[in-house]
Amino acid sequence: MKAIGADRVFTLDEGNLFYEYEREIPEPQEHELLVQVKAISVNPLDTKLRQTTPSETPRVLGFDAVGVVQSVGDEVTLFNEGDKIYYSGSPIYQGSNQTYQLVDERLVGRKPKNLSYNEAASLPLTGLTASETLFDVFQISSNPEENQGKTLLIINGAGGVGSIATQIAKAYGLRVITTASREETKRWSTDMGADIVLNHRNHLVDELKQHDIDEVDYVFCTFNTDMYYETMIDLVKARGTIATIVAFQEKQDLNLLKSKSVTFTHEYMYARVVHQAEDMIKHHEYLTDITEKIEQGIYQPTVTQVMQGLTSDNIYRAHQILEDQRMIGKLVINLEDEHANE
């Protein structure tokens, strides 16, 4: 089978160090599924992982994938051969930049029937990140009526995570405010369901006051936590909650959280997986909820760009696009033709 790997850490200005190679198709064990991959999505997490030392080489990157179950381990109960599934996998396994992949069934959902492979590939990592933030961190209710009157601010609403987080929050009764600056990102965020879109080129405190809002219940940062740290504390209500998916690059004063008794959390969607938490099945449950909402027409996929073919050039180009930090929605690579002669 084909895989795209790299042997070491590298920056993009060193050139394309990804390369294609052949590896044996693995056999699933216990709770594992062997998946024939049909489409993948490339995420900012892939670009960050590329710049960390690999534990084995070649290292195959990639998390989001959609495909068809080819065989199952002897403890699998949730899926059967032939099922069409989607998932965001695990850092424990080699990634989805290959034509076949192993994945734990507890991290997998059934592909929405009304979506193409490309459309479905846009959802798992971002959908799981958004779901964990909303339900685990912010602890919003699964009953939308109980969330009425509460407000969520998403910094960078037009990115992959912001796009699906907006949809989930709206479906569960929250008032959603996002940030954007370009006309196309403002329009996209509104299309995702945002009630208000703030211009992040201006001071967000002043932007909110123009809408007669002083504070919000929850703040979800998906872009440059250092830049927005003090602003988020200003904007969140007393005893409110701030969550970020972007690691600090600078030292910050945690005492600033004290006067409002603010809860601050780093959301890392793979924490359950890396630490083999007892509730890993949550990934399956969250993806099942997303599938149901997609099939009901409540959510929409967030793919905006598709590349054709699993090649080292496409992987390299995808990393370039994401590191430019102007991507709207999600970038997908389609692999369907990869299996034409198999």
- For 165-177, the pLDDT digits (tens) are 999 999 999 999 9
**Domain ends where: 266, 294, 311?**
266
Do 145 and 258 share a domain, yes or no? Answer: yes
Predicted confidence at residue 340, as pLDDT, reads 38
The answer to whether position 99 is within a domain reads yes
Give the count of beta carbons closer than 10 Å to the beta carbon of residue 234.
17
User: What band does 321 get if pLDDT is binned at 50, 70 and 90?
Assistant: very high
- For 224-256, the pLDDT digits (tens) are 999 999 999 999 999 999 999 999 999 999 999
Do 90 and 147 share a domain, yes or no? Answer: no
Do 211 and 151 share a domain, yes or no? Answer: yes
Q: Distance (Å, rounded) from C-alpha 160 to C-alpha 254?
A: 28
- For 182-197, the pLDDT digits (tens) are 999 999 999 999 999 9
Position 342 pLDDT exceeds 60:
no
Segment 314-337 mean pLDDT: 94
Report pTM. Answer: 0.95
The CATH number assigned to the domain holding 31 equals: 3.90.180.10
Q: What are the backbone angles phi and psi of residue 172, rounded to the nearest 5°?
A: -100, 20
Segment 44-57 mean pLDDT: 95
DSSP alpha helix (H) spans, 112-159: 117-121, 124-131
Q: State how many domains the chain has.
A: 2
The answer to whether position 272 is within a domain reads no
Cβ within 8 Å of residue 141, ≥6 positions away: 147, 172, 173
Strand partners, 308: 334
Structural domain for 220, as ranges: 127-266
Secondary structure (3-state) at 61? coil
Question: Average pLDDT over the chain, rounded to whole?
Answer: 96
- For 124-142, the pLDDT digits (tens) are 999 999 999 999 999 999 9
Do 320 and 303 share a domain, yes or no? Answer: yes
- For 260-295, the pLDDT digits (tens) are 999 999 999 999 999 999 999 999 999 999 999 999
The answer to whether position 274 is within a domain reads no
Do 200 and 310 share a domain, yes or no? Answer: no
Predicted confidence at residue 336, as pLDDT, reads 82
Segment 141-155 mean pLDDT: 98
**In Å, what is the CA distance from 146 to each residue of 85, 141, 214, 334?**
32, 6, 22, 40
Beta carbons of 100 and 27 less than 8 angstroms apart: no
Predicted confidence at residue 337, as pLDDT, reads 66
Do 157 and 142 share a domain, yes or no? Answer: yes
Tokens of residue 9, six digits: 């850490």
DSSP alpha helix (H) spans, the chain: 44-49, 117-121, 124-131, 160-171, 183-191, 204-209, 225-235, 271-274, 282-295, 312-323
Predicted confidence at residue 338, as pLDDT, reads 52
Do 186 and 297 share a domain, yes or no? Answer: no
The CATH number assigned to the domain holding 141 equals: 3.40.50.720
Q: Distance (Å, rounded) from C-alpha 203 to C-alpha 43?
A: 28
